[in-house]
């Protein structure tokens, strides 16, 4: 069955040259506003012929590096800086950003688990559908800026995936490296089916993702990596002139070959992570302990590394529940892909 057209409309003309700031408007009817709309900010910067890059932040509403860097870029990027078209959406899941949460404040939807989406679904599913059927087909390259959010803290990296199409995989990997974070990662997703990543990659487009810090805030360091990375990606794919600026230390390549990279808690309690982010971990070492805070004199449960590598991510809050990811250990490799 063919889907009806998206109920979302854009107040900008994606084909017009120059800089435009506007909204993706999604009709919504609530107690507070009978004939209202969710207003997702969008900036289009177009100058003549060339590739189109879509830059997205706020796919998860509490991942502030991408949101902040793209809000800044949206007010700074000039048409004469660009050859082609740059579409900037700093707050992709706007209701989640406004709620300060990973998921939508309107329907609880996790946008990055809602693709390809549905024009007749929830608000979150309607947003996903609009990107799948309207935004992504306009683009050659998508840079989707994620970080750890409130519950994770993650080393900064550009990431791509193993793909069936070798040329598409190579171009995405080159983009992930050119982002110029201290790390570049070949990422294994726990469940890729409903990700934005998959919606973009299945259309044959180049998709670069990031992780850039977390803890429900940003830092001068994490923002500097993000802003440099966005500029680098625009330069690498030929939209902006200049030289890609790589980190002072040689970039470290990481691989997540399978689900054993994820250490997940089988207990609830108080978490001690025994390594700093970016520190080397050997197989068999205690990577984390979970204490029972309801009584003294009991030994903690120990979690040992099932592989050697680098501590790439950790749970940010000290309270942990069964099933939470408490650590991610990635392999250090000489080359990727």
Closest approach of Zn ion to the CB of residue 48, in Å? 33
Per CB under 5 A, which region of 46-54, 63-71, 127-135, 241-249 contacts Zn ion? 63-71
Rule CB under 5 A: is residue 316 a binding residue for Zn ion?
A: no
* CA nearest neighbour of 230 among 161, 268, 193, 179: 179
Q: How many residues bind Zn ion (CB under 5 A)?
A: 3
Q: Which residues pair with 25 in a beta bridge?
A: 9, 39
**C-beta atoms surrounding 78 within 10 Å:** 10
Closest approach of Zn ion to the CB of residue 209, in Å? 9
Contacts for 272-277: CB closer than 8 Å, 24+ residues apart: 272/300, 273/311, 273/314, 273/315, 273/326, 273/327, 275/311, 275/327, 276/311, 277/153, 277/154, 277/155, 277/311, 277/312, 277/313, 277/314
Which one of residues 42, 52, 60, 163 is an interface residue with Zn ion (CB under 5 A)? 60
Are 92 and 135 contacting, i.e. CB atoms less than 8 angstroms apart? no
**C-beta atoms surrounding 32 within 10 Å:** 7
Closest approach of Zn ion to the CB of residue 151, in Å? 10
If the CB atoms of residues 60 and 133 are measured against Zn ion, the closer one turns out to be 60
Per CB under 5 A, which region of 53-61, 265-273, 279-287, 311-319 contacts Zn ion? 53-61
Closest approach of Zn ion to the CB of residue 211, in Å? 8
**C-beta atoms surrounding 292 within 10 Å:** 15
Closest approach of Zn ion to the CB of residue 316, in Å? 13
If the CB atoms of residues 144 and 255 are measured against Zn ion, the closer one turns out to be 144
Of 124-153, which residues contact Zn ion (CB under 5 A)?
146
Q: Where does this chain bind Zn ion (CB under 5 A)?
A: 60, 63, 146
């Amino acid at each position: 069955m063919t889907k009806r057209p998206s109920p979302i409309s854009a107040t900008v003309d994606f084909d017009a040259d120059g800089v435009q700031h506007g909204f993706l408007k999604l009709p919504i009817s609530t107690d507070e506003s009978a004939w209202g709309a969710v207003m997702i900010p969008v900036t289009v910067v177009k100058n003549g012929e060339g590739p189109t890059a879509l830059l997205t932040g706020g796919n998860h509403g509490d991942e502030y590096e991408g949101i902040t860097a793209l809000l800044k870029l949206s007010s700074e990027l000039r048409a004469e800086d660009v050859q082609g078209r740059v579409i900037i959406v700093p707050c992709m899941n706007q209701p989640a950003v406004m709620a300060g949460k990973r998921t939508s404040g309107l329907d609880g939807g996790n946008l990055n688990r809602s693709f390809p989406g549905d024009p007749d679904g929830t608000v979150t599913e309607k947003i996903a559908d609009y990107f799948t059927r309207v935004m992504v087909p306009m683009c050659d390259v998508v840079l989707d800026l994620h970080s750890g959010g409130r519950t994770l803290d993650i080393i900064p990296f550009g990431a791509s995936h193993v793909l069936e199409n070798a040329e598409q995989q190579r171009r995405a990997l080159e983009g992930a490296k050119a982002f110029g974070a201290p790390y570049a990662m070949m990422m294994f997703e726990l469940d890729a089916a409903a990700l934005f990543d998959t919606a973009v990659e299945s259309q044959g487009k180049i998709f670069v993702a990031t992780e850039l810090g977390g803890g429900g805030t940003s830092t001068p360091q994490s923002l500097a990596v993000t802003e440099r990375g966005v500029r680098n990606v625009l330069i690498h794919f030929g939209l902006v002139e200049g030289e890609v600026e790589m980190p002072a230390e040689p970039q470290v390549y990481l691989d997540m070959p399978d689900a054993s990279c994820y250490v997940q808690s089988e207990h609830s309690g108080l978490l001690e992570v025994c390594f700093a982010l970016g520190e080397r971990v050997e197989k068999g070492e205690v990577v984390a302990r979970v204490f029972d805070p309801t009584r003294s004199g009991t030994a903690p449960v120990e979690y040992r590394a099932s592989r050697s590598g680098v501590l790439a991510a950790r749970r940010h809050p000290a309270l942990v529940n069964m099933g939470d990811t408490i650590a991610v250990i990635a392999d250090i490799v000489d080359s990727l892909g």
